[in-house]
Structure 1
Amino acid sequence: MNVSKESRDFLDRLSVYLFASGKNEKEIREVTGELEDHLHEAEKKGKSVEDITGLTAKQYMDQIAKEMPFDKMGVFKYALVLIFGAIAFYVMGDAINGTMDYSWIIIIGLPVMVLLYGVMVAKLFKYTAEKVLSKKKEFTLLILLAGVPLAGMGGVVFLDQFIGVTTVSLGTTGRVIGFVLCAFILIGVSIWSKSLIMILLPILVFVPQYYIERTSWSEETQLMMIAMVFPIGFMISLGISILQMWRKERRQVA
């Protein structure tokens, strides 16, 4: 159904806000679909979004969110996918490096940091949905947030080096099996999320790291180069994924 750009932007922002608030995807589509019908009819009479809602964008989003039930199973599903995806990425790196030794600090700390990151992402999505921000500002906020898991995991690893005691240790066979399982998990997450980032990120991070560690460079140079690989790989993966989503959105609008 054809609606103005203002109405389409509002519907998209409402969808993001409700999703970040833990609402069911099917119910979100029903709510936004019904609102789209009202907006379409209202625009014929020269009315705006606020004329229909009777509230500001943020007030209306809050009101709708309060009226809809919290999708516990949906949130649980996304939390599991997020945790398994992050753990698979982390463990795959260890399998490649040949050091799969884990203490309780790592076993507990990694999932906790992932969940905290997920909560922060949801908060950011709600913030960007309730305010009209430029794409540049949204992208900047997303990049800044991307540094959170890196810093968090750095803290967990730092703590592990001082007080961590190895609880789980895998040999060669375990590393091979772990690598294969992690690869399947990352591919599965990418297919499920319809995004390339979980496939691209390991390739862009671990392949350069593998070759850097086998160069004749000094240890300091290798560490510096490896430290640069993750943010660069993340930026490239994120950019490709955003481009993929943008093209999909353009096709839907067309």
Structure 2
Amino acid sequence: MNSQLELSRKSQRFLDDLRTYLFTNRKSLSDVDEIINDLENHLYEAERNGKPIEKVVGKSPREYMKMVSGELATDNKNWFKYICLIIFGSFSFMIFPDIMSLNLSFTVLEIGSHIVISTMFILLAFSYFKYNATKDRPIANRVILQLGMVLLLSAISFSIIYLNKYIDSPIIHFGPIGSLLVAVIMGLFLIGLVIWASK
């Protein structure tokens, strides 16, 4: 975005919301930057000529966002990279203490629940940002939504921890050598994933 252009607070808020909306609709970051920069110039010219933002984006910002989103191709390939980074990155942090002590072990329930919680987090976060981008909600409403998301994920996490103590789920044990091998594989995998994601 061109930092030399000074826009009104309303126009800047619209650009931020549009960027968030396109981002959560899995659009290419380069395409998003191109659209934002182009629109920023149009809004700057309009404001300089005394025209309101509606003259550029119409009376319904939400419809404008949908229109722009529909014109851009969905970048599922890159978004798959980001999702993999989130899930496997968080999983590596979860097992890091056990790997360091060379005493890695976890249940099948723990693995499955981690994948489910990570996926839910991604979906809820995307839905939250997408929802806020198209609706001008008071700060109090946004805080309530955020708190609701945190409480929901926390409740699910604690429920799984509780269930893991009482459900007889198969346990996968790794000895010192197995833990070390997992650490090396996980490290190489994350390095490869980061390199792949940066392309």
Q: Does 1:164 align with 2:180?
A: no
Partner of residue 56, structure 2? 52
SS of the residue corresponding to residue 163 of structure 1 reads coil
Change (3 A) 1:178 1:152: farther
Count of paired positions: 189
Please report the TM-score for the alignment, with normalisation by the length of structure 1: 0.63
Residue 219 of structure 1 is matched in structure 2 by none
Q: Give the match for residue 122 of structure 1.
A: 126
Name the structure 2 match of 1:65: 69
What's the counterpart of residue 23 of structure 2?
A: 19
The CA deviation string for residues 149-196 of structure 1, in whole angstroms up to 9 with x for no partner, is: 333233333343313111x2122444466678879969x98xx9xxxx
Indicate conservation of the 8 Å contact 1:89/1:182, yes or no. Answer: no
The 8 Å contact of residues 110 and 156 in structure 1, kept in 2 or not, is answered as: no
Distance in 2 of aligned mates of 1:85 and 1:41:
44
In 1: Cα distance, 2:87 partner to 2:186 partner: 12
2:158 corresponds in structure 1 to: 154
Match of 1:150, SS?
A: helix
The residue that corresponds to 1:4 in the other structure is: 8
The superposition leaves residues 80-129 of structure 1 with CA deviations (integer Å, 9 ceiling, x where unpaired) of 01101221222125447876322322222311221121011000001111
Unaligned 5+ segments in structure 1 are 193-254
User: Closer, same or farther in 2 for the Cα pair 1:178/1:134, shift >3 Å?
Assistant: farther
Q: What percent identity do the matched residue pairs reach? A: 26
Aligned to 1:210: none
**2:170 aligned partner, one-letter code:** V
Encode CA deviations 1:6-49: one digit per residue, 9 max, x unaligned: 11111011101110111111100001111111111111221122
CA separation of 1:132/1:181 partners in 2, compared to 1, >3 Å: closer, same or farther?
A: farther
Higher helix proportion, which one?
A: 1
Return structure 1 stretches of 4+ with deviation > 6 angstroms: 179-184
Q: How many Å apart are 1:140 and its aligned residue? A: 4.5
- Change over 3 Å in CA distance of 1:182–1:92 after alignment to 2: farther
Q: TM-score, normalised by structure 2?
A: 0.79
Q: 2:37 corresponds to which residue?
A: 33
For structure 2, the residue ranges without an aligned partner over 5 or more in a row are: none
Q: Which digits, 9 at most, give the CA deviation of each residue in 1:131-159, with x for residues without a partner? A: 22345543453343233333323333334
User: Which protein, 1 or 2, shows the higher relative CO under an 8 Å CA cutoff with sep ≥ 6?
Assistant: 2
